[in-house]
Structure 1
Amino acid sequence: MAYSYSPLVLLLLLLLLPFSVSAAVATVTGHENTAPREKLTHLHFFFHGRFASPNATAVLVAVPPGTNATFNTFGAVIVLDDMLKDGPEASSKLIGRAQGLTAQASLEGTYLLMVVNFVFTAGEYNGSSLAILGRFVPDVSGTERSIVGGTGKFRMARGYTVGNVYIWTASYFVLELDAYIVHY
Structure 2
Amino acid sequence: MILCVTFSLVHGKYYSATEPHVRMKEKVTNLYFFFHDTLSGKNPSAVLIAKPSLPNNNDTSQSSFGSLYAVDDPLTVRPELTSEVIGNAQGLWVSSGQGSVQTLVVYFDFGFTTGELNGSAITVFSRNPVMEMERELAVIGGRGRFRMARGFAQLKTYTVDLTNGDAIVEYNVTVIHY
Matching residue within 168, 174, 182 for 2:176: 182
Matching residue within 131, 144, 147 for 1:155: 147
Larger helix proportion of the pair? 1
Q: Which amino acid aligns with 1:144?
A: E
State the distance in 1 between where 2:151 and 2:29 align. 10
Tell me what 1:56 maps to.
Answer: 44
Following TM superposition, by how much is the alpha carbon of 1:55 offset from its aligned partner in structure 2, in angstroms? 1.0
Contact 1:78/1:103 (<8 A) preserved: yes
Tell me what 2:35 maps to.
Answer: 47
Identity %: 34
Normalising by structure 1, report the TM-score: 0.78
Tell me what 2:14 maps to.
Answer: none
Tell me what 1:8 maps to.
Answer: none
Following TM superposition, by how much is the alpha carbon of 1:53 offset from its aligned partner in structure 2, in angstroms? 2.4
Q: Which has the bigger relative contact order, CA under 8 A and spacing at least 6?
A: 2
- 1:69-84 correspondence runs (5 A): 69-84=60-75
State the distance in 2 between where 1:83 and 1:137 align. 21
Matching residue within 116, 141, 145 for 1:124: 116
The structure having more radius of gyration, on CA atoms, is 1
Q: Does 1:65 align with 2:25?
A: no
Following TM superposition, by how much is the alpha carbon of 1:127 offset from its aligned partner in structure 2, in angstroms? 0.2
State the distance in 1 between where 2:157 and 2:74 align. 15
Contact 2:111/2:121 (<8 A) preserved: yes
Residue deviations 1:68-114 (CA, integer Å, cap 9, x gap): 75332111101110011111012110000010000111213210000
State the distance in 2 between where 1:35 and 1:81 align. 36
State the distance in 2 between where 1:69 and 1:159 align. 36
Q: Which amino acid aligns with 1:99?
A: Q
The ranges of structure 1 where at least 4 consecutive aligned residues each deviate by more than 2 angstroms after the TM superposition are 66-72
Q: Which amino acid aligns with 2:160?
A: W
Matching residue within 81, 85, 94 for 1:94: 85
Contact 1:69/1:76 (<8 A) preserved: no
Aligned length: 154
Contact 1:63/1:69 (<8 A) preserved: no
Contact 1:133/1:147 (<8 A) preserved: yes
State the distance in 2 between where 1:101 and 1:162 align. 19
State the distance in 2 between where 1:183 and 1:35 align. 13
Q: Which runs of 5+ in 1 are unaligned?
A: 1-30
